[in-house]
Structure formats: structure tokens, C-alpha cells
């Protein structure tokens, strides 16, 4: 599937550290879409990933999806129905757990200005996050795979780093 088939309001979901933020930024640049990182809406800036009050996050999310040209990356499944109602396309990244772990450690140790980072925040390796990637992500992957079958939008599932690289090449996207 080509990127143009996904329209101008694209949802990207997938496990933590699967490449959602990087892909969203690349798509945003290529198609002139506003890029929305749900982690930045959900967490307070200048903190170590402290969540906003739920009603405040919901209001920010709902405002973000009112636009006509966006690519939104992140999960927050509770708010997915209203996101999908406005979306024109859907991408599920489902790279292997080992890839997600590698990316998490790399971003915490070596990437200071990574895409999707909290303003004024700094990533650090946390055992809770490692446990989340290894344990919780397994159940989420199963749920996401079941969910994608019920989505009637133009959609695609990318399950390997090779397939992701091919998607970048096919659509002339730059990281």
C-alpha cells in the first residue's frame, strides 16, 4: 500500500519504541501534515513522564483530531474510537520485542533530541519500562492484531524492520 492511500488523517499505533514517532515525523514532512505525539499530550512537559489529569488529556486529544491534516502516533486505546472516527488511514507497527528493547535503551542513552520526547524531559532507562516492553507489550500486540481486523479504514500492518525500511523507501520518506 502506498502512503497516499491512507489519506490526510493517519493514526499510527504499535508497541512502545516500535518507531511510531519517527514514522509520524517522516510522514508529516512528506505530506505536510501536523504531527501529534500522544505521549506529549498525555504527560506534563518538564517532568519525568508525569501524566496529566485524564480530563485534560482527553480535551487535548479531542482538539487535536478536529483538524483536517494530521498524523497522530500513540496508543491510548480508550480514546481510539473518536480518533478512528476522524481518521482516513491506519498504520500498525508491530516490530519484534527485541527491536523495541534495543530502541528504548538507545534512545535513553544516546538520543538527546529524539522525536516525540517530552519538552524539557530526559529519558532514562527504567525497569518499569523494560518490564512493560517485555511483558505488557505481548498482550497489547495480541489485542492490536485482533483490533486491526475490525478497522474499515485503509490500513496496513508493518511487522518487521525490513518491511518498515521498505515502506520508507517506497514512499520516499526520510527519517
CB atoms within 10 A of CB 116: 18
Architecture of domain 3-170: 3-Layer(aba) Sandwich (3.40)
Which residue stretches of 1-96 are H helix? Answer: 20-31, 38-42, 54-64, 80-86
What is the residue extent of each domain of the chain?
Answer: 3-170
| Cα 67 to Cα 64, 97, 125, distances in angstroms | 6, 33, 35
Q: What tens digit of pLDDT does each residue of 9-54 get?
A: 999 999 888 889 999 999 999 999 999 999 999 999 888 788 999 9
Burial class (CB in 10 A: 0-12, 13-18, 19+), 92: buried
> What pLDDT is attached to residue 122?
65
Q: Say if residue 107's pLDDT is above 80.
A: no
Amino acid at each position: 500500500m502506498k502512503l497516499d492511500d491512507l489519506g490526510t488523517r493517519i493514526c499510527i499505533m504499535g508497541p512502545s519504541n516500535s518507531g511510531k514517532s519517527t514514522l509520524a515525523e517522516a510522514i508529516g514532512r512528506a505530506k505536510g501534515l501536523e504531527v501529534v505525539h500522544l505521549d506529549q499530550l498525555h504527560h506534563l512537559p518538564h517532568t519525568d513522564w508525569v501524566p496529566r489529569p485524564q480530563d485534560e488529556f482527553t480535551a487535548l486529544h479531542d482538539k487535536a483530531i478536529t483538524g483536517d491534516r494530521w498524523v497522530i502516533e500513540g496508543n491510548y486505546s480508550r480514546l481510539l474510537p473518536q480518533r478512528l472516527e476522524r481518521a482516513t488511514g491506519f498504520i500498525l507497527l508491530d516490530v519484534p520485542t527485541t527491536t523495541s528493547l534495543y530502541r528504548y535503551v538507545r534512545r535513553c542513552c544516546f538520543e538527546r533530541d529524539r522525536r516525540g520526547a517530552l519538552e524539557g524531559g530526559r529519558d532514562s532507562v527504567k525497569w518499569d519500562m523494560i518490564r512493560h516492553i517485555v511483558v505488557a507489550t505481548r498482550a497489547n500486540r495480541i489485542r492490536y492484531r485482533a483490533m486491526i481486523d475490525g478497522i474499515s479504514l485503509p490500513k496496513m500492518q508493518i511487522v518487521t524492520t525490513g518491511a518498515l525500511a521498505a515502506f520508507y523507501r517506497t514512499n520516499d520518506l526520510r527519517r
